[in-house]
Amino acid sequence: MATIPNIEPEQVTVGATWQWEISDSRYPAGDGWVLSYDLLDNSTNQIAITATANGDNHLVDIAFGTTAGYTAGTYRFSGVFTKSPDKFAEREGCIVVLADIGTVTTDPSSTSQAILAAINAVIAGRATKAQSEITLGDIALKLLSPQELMDWLTFYEQRVDSDKRAERNALGGGNSRIVRGYAAGVV
């Protein structure tokens, strides 16, 4: 059995078991504190998770059958400790939910990623007919000069990187997770 991480993962996979365990001495599960998460992507997909008590720790253990119904994407999460009448939002960040590669029936690539792959294939001399006939402006890839291909390669590499950064930033910044803490004796 694999070791259970003691922090929220940066990425998980649809159709796989998700596990992590959080220990926070300020909110021990043994004293009745409950840790719950809300995950929200840029559309309407939302995932609600409630950890179970494992001694004083909070254990997240979601079966693969449950995660199989989730949608892949980048989710912003908020972790909240509750014990009536108190509620403290102490954990936040982003989790990338990867598609179960065994069940994907469509190409998950963005248009920019697909064009970048086609340019690389043309440069390498192994492009499919469909890839070589992709047009940029009004010229098919197969008709571009080597310098034009390199210029388009640079452009689409930057665009793909920019798209990935924009998605991360839209969901809370470049950091994958933030854990709030406090210093003893500091008011």
Question: What is the per-residue pLDDT across 156-185, written as a single tens digit (0 to 9) for each?
Answer: 888 888 877 777 776 665 555 555 555 455
The pLDDT > 70 percentage for the chain reads 83
Q: What is the pLDDT of residues 116-134, one digit of tens each?
A: 888 988 998 888 887 888 8
DSSP for 77-94? EEEEEEETTEEEEEEEEE
Q: Which CATH superfamily is domain 11-103 in?
A: Immunoglobulins (2.60.40.10)
The CA-based angle 75-37-84, given to 5 degrees, is 155
Question: What is the chain's Cα-based Rg?
Answer: 22
When pLDDT is averaged across residues 21-38 and rounded to a whole number, the result is: 97
When pLDDT is averaged across residues 17-26 and rounded to a whole number, the result is: 96
Domains of the chain, by residue range, sit at: 11-103, 111-169
User: How far is residue 132 from each of residues 121, 140, 150, 178, 184, measured CA to CA in Å?
Assistant: 8, 7, 15, 44, 63
Backbone angles phi, psi at 21, to 5 degrees: -135, 130
Q: Is the model's pTM score more than 0.75?
A: no
- Statement: residue 58 has pLDDT above 90: yes
